[in-house]
Amino acid sequence: MELLGLAFAVWLSLRFCAPVDGYPNGKVKQACASMIPCHGAAPQLSPEHTITLNVTEFKPGDSIEVNLSGPDYEGFFIQARDAEHLDGPAVGSFTLADQRLSQLLTCSHTKFNTSDCGSTKFCIRNPSNCDAESVSCFFLSFQREGSSVLIEMSGPSEGYIAFALSHDQWMGGDDAYLCINEDHHIRVFTAYLKGRSPPVLDSEIALEDVSWRLADGILQCSFRRSIHLPAYKERFNLHGIYYIFLADGEASGDGLIYKHRRQPLVTNGMYNVTGLPQDIGGSRSPLLIKVHGVLMFVAWITTVSIGVIIARFFKPAWSHSFLFGKEMWFQVHRVLMLTTVLLTSVSFVLPFIYRGGWNQQAGYHPYLGCTLMALTIVQPLTAGFRPSPHAPRRWLFNWFHWSTGTTARILAVVTVFLGMDLPALDLLDPWDTYTVIGFVAWHVGIDVLLEVHSYCLVRKVELVEDDRVQILQSLTSAEAEGRLFKQLVLTIYICGNIGFLAAFLAAINQI
């Protein structure tokens, strides 16, 4: 009887249950069009709540204060719509008075349509083929419409985004356009760039149909500009070919902008934005700096690391193998070290060629790089004057050669670590830090493994009975066993190093 009553109670509970969908983060994009909560239940009308505005008359671009008042509530959803087209999409954008009490919900896409890139629009995107609505996408488009061009610009920034037309790949003498966040109100400026000085803003912007949006950390603005403008305005005519810069950075509440936080995106070639529509990308790192990084990674992740492992652990294992009249371990070690010297030397001069001199803004990186270059040259020079293996002072050379090489390798890791975050390269953070730490741990782990293995082999031979024939047999067996193990570890180590190298090269290629 009790069991029957329990079953009836369960049936009765289920009979009056209704499914309800919960959205704990409040991001209910499904409700954007109808504004009806998607909880599986009908909305409840509340005439006690009121919405008030601080103004009743306004023009495009004005900021309006919206207040919601009434009894306590768990949540709210507010949109602004055209009064004559209530079924149309939401218009404008909101700025939160208190981010602890409410949040923004991006509902509709703006008119920034990347599907037209390459067909009716000339587009620049970073990363390549990204969506303009993405929180990681920088987007710039030009669409010719008669004698004018509609320009759209978007990027993840709450300070400013800007682009410039240039006759070369250096800042200076450029025609610039900036969308600046001034206390949650976006203002669009034209400007002229003089060298690396702050842009000179124009009092007359000569732009039309200016609109903007700032939501979820994405700043978007669009405007129209005539293809031809008077030369005195220092604006370039848009029928010419130019390199195109795309930058972002921080801005103060009064519209003061700061230097861009990372290297601007620069197109790889010169383009006519009013000509044939294209969908292109660019690079935030100059080619010479990319090559500099590639050569340093190849030298100090691959060639020098493998060369050190071979010299340290394969001298006895390959002592009876010869290559071009010399022991194999020595020949392989020498080729790898000389390759390191060559790659480092070429890499060393590239930043000076790019900058045309010393870079005062690169911190400790160039100083450490010069020190590393000096140690890299010293190593082969001292090796050329090394004493014979049985000379009394051979231990002094061995100690100096080891300490100089170890210092250079440690210094190389520090130099690479600092160089990865410089604006001219700026690999993805914190991925770059973790990957460098992973490589160091990988190299130290292999080094320790081979050290322990060598120690175990020596102990194995020492424990053999004091019999001449048996000792010789044990040494031969130990050498064969050790050689096979070391060659296996070396193969794994080389594969791992190539994996790390490929990861860094891929990251450089994506900049």
Task: Please report which residue ranges of 225-327 form alpha helices under DSSP H.
Answer: 287-297, 304-313
Residues 6+ apart with CB under 8 A from 39: 20, 21, 22, 23
- Could you list the beta-strand ranges (E) of 269-404: 279-280, 322-323, 326-327
The answer to whether the beta carbons of residues 305 and 443 sit under 8 Å apart is yes
* Nearest Cα residue to 225 out of 243, 201, 209, 239: 209
Q: Is residue 22 a part of any domain in this protein?
A: no
Q: Domain boundary at 221, 248, 280, which?
A: 280
First to last CA, the chain: 74
DSSP notation for 381-398: HHHHTPPPTTSTTHHHHH
Q: Do 381 and 237 share a domain, yes or no?
A: no
Q: Give the pLDDT of residue 24.
A: 57
Question: What residues make up the domain containing 167?
Answer: 114-280
* Nearest Cα residue to 118 out of 87, 151, 142, 153: 142
What kind and span of H or E run contains 426? none
Q: Is residue 17 a part of any domain in this protein?
A: no
Q: Report CA-CA distances (Å) from 237 to 152, 185, 246, 275, 498.
A: 18, 29, 18, 13, 49
Q: Which residues of 392-416 are buried (b: 16+ CB within 10 A; e: fewer)?
A: eeeeeeeeebeebbeebbebbbebb
Residue type, 181: N
Number of folded domains that form the chain:
2
The answer to whether the beta carbons of residues 476 and 509 sit under 8 Å apart is no
Q: Do 315 and 260 share a domain, yes or no?
A: no
Q: Do 359 and 392 share a domain, yes or no?
A: yes
Q: Is residue 41 a part of any domain in this protein?
A: no
Q: Do 347 and 247 share a domain, yes or no?
A: no
Q: Is residue 46 a part of any domain in this protein?
A: no
Q: Report CA-CA distances (Å) from 52 to 79, 102, 128, 179, 396.
A: 13, 17, 44, 30, 85
Phi/psi of residue 506, nearest 5 degrees: -65, -40
Q: Is residue 16 a part of any domain in this protein?
A: no
Phi/psi of residue 140, nearest 5 degrees: -145, 130
Q: Give the pLDDT of residue 140.
A: 95
Residues 6+ apart with CB under 8 A from 316: 479, 482
Q: Domain boundary at 230, 265, 280, which?
A: 280
- Give the residue carrying structure tokens 């950390």: 217
Q: Give the pLDDT of residue 470.
A: 47
Q: Do 464 and 493 share a domain, yes or no?
A: yes
Q: Do 227 and 197 share a domain, yes or no?
A: yes
Q: Is residue 224 a part of any domain in this protein?
A: yes
Q: Alpha-carbon torsion 96, 100, 102, 105, what sign?
A: positive
Rounded Cα distance between 282 and 290, Å, is 13
The answer to whether the beta carbons of residues 366 and 354 sit under 8 Å apart is no
CATH of the domain at 267: 2.60.40.1210
Q: Give the pLDDT of residue 468.
A: 47
Q: Do 272 and 300 share a domain, yes or no?
A: no
Q: Give the pLDDT of residue 41.
A: 66
CATH of the domain at 427: 1.20.120
Q: Give the pLDDT of residue 295.
A: 96
Q: Do 230 and 168 share a domain, yes or no?
A: yes
Q: Which two tokens stand for residue 481?
A: 């066993």
The answer to whether the beta carbons of residues 310 and 333 sit under 8 Å apart is yes
Q: Do 437 and 465 share a domain, yes or no?
A: yes
Q: Do 321 and 192 share a domain, yes or no?
A: no
pLDDT by residue, tens only, the chain of 511 residues: 444 445 545 444 545 555 555 555 555 666 776 777 666 666 666 667 888 888 877 776 677 888 888 887 777 888 887 777 777 667 776 777 776 677 776 665 457 878 889 999 999 998 888 888 778 899 999 999 999 999 999 999 889 999 999 998 888 889 999 999 987 788 899 988 887 777 888 877 778 888 888 877 888 999 999 998 876 567 899 999 999 999 999 988 777 888 887 889 999 899 999 999 999 998 888 889 999 999 999 999 999 999 999 988 888 777 677 777 788 888 999 999 999 999 999 999 999 998 888 887 788 999 999 999 999 999 888 888 888 888 888 888 889 988 999 999 999 999 999 998 888 888 888 899 999 999 999 999 999 999 888 888 777 666 554 544 444 444 455 555 678 888 899 999 999 999 999 999 999 988 8
Q: Is residue 339 a part of any domain in this protein?
A: yes
The answer to whether the beta carbons of residues 137 and 130 sit under 8 Å apart is yes
For 104-137, give the secondary structure using H, E and C. CCCCCCCCCCHHHECCCEEEEEECCCCCCCCCCC
Q: Do 385 and 425 share a domain, yes or no?
A: yes
Q: Is residue 377 a part of any domain in this protein?
A: yes
Cis status of the peptide bond prior to 127, with omega within 30 of 0: yes
Residues 6+ apart with CB under 8 A from 468: none
Query: H helices then E strands: how many in the chain?
Result: 8, 16
Q: Do 367 and 239 share a domain, yes or no?
A: no
Q: Domain boundary at 280, 314, 340, which?
A: 280
